[in-house]
Amino acid sequence: MIETYVFFKVKNDFIIENSSEKLHGLFFKMLKNTQINTEKLHSQKNKPFSLSPVYEYGYDKSITKFSKNKYFFFRIASIQDDLILSFVKALTLNSTELFLDKYPIYIDEVITETYQNKDIQNEITINFVSPVTFRGPNNINIPIPDPLHIINFLKKYGINDIDYPKITYIEGKSHVMKYSSFKLIGFVGKMKIKTHTPKSYLILHYLGTGYSHAKGMGVTIIDAATTANQKIRYIWKRWGINA
């Protein structure tokens, strides 16, 4: 399992209403000439990665306005290491000719961290950085981080060794994510749980949570994942995460 933060600048000022849609396109474009079978990946109903919107460095909300005087980043994580490593390699090789939609971007730094297998406590905090929602019957969206929905979501990826946790704390609010042709409402906040299977829930850190997690929704940070990188720690703190 792996996560990458890509930092970049822009040459001109512009507006993109939903950056994660454009990042999704850039991600697949970068993978096109790699060992990854992009057609198979694109057709997968349950995508094995999490892709964030674009954020301005130092701020906690995703942005729509890009300025040449600002510094931006996005996060991509996956339960498949080869997916991210192939993307990072392609990104590096093509760093002088990258476009977000029709606008050129210039990569400044790429930071990648892989999962470190270690013992973790039974109480963990699940931080939902971008709105999380679940798809219910008749395509009804359920913008509530109910543990049962989370468990069912993880089971789609073969994670069956997982128990129903005890919620010890929850705080958050609803937030709207605007896409080009629709809007989604989701929960943004944090939830502390006690569980006998914390490592199963830790997978959310790399997979994201819920519906459309490959297009900006459900970006999830688990505090137990930890990081020693000061730049990432700063981002987490701005997101309200104990790092």
Per residue in 29-44, pLDDT (tens digit) is 888 888 888 888 888 8
- pTM for the full model? 0.91
Dist CA 105 CA 109 (whole Å): 12
- Output the DSSP codes for 68-113: TTS-EEEEEEES-HHHHHHHHHHHHHTTTSEEETTEEEEEEEEEEE
Has residue 243 got a pLDDT over 70? no
What is the pLDDT, as a whole number, of residue 172? Answer: 94
| HEC assignment per residue over 168-209 | EEEEEEEEEEECCCCEEEEEEEEEEEECCCHHHHHCHHHHCC
Is residue 111 over pLDDT 70? yes
Q: Domain residues of the chain, as ranges?
A: 2-114, 123-238
Right CATH for 2-114 from 3.30.70.1890, 3.40.50.970, 3.40.50.1820, 3.30.1600.10: 3.30.70.1890
Check for a shared fold between 2-114 and 123-238: yes
* CATH architecture assigned to 123-238: 2-Layer Sandwich (3.30)
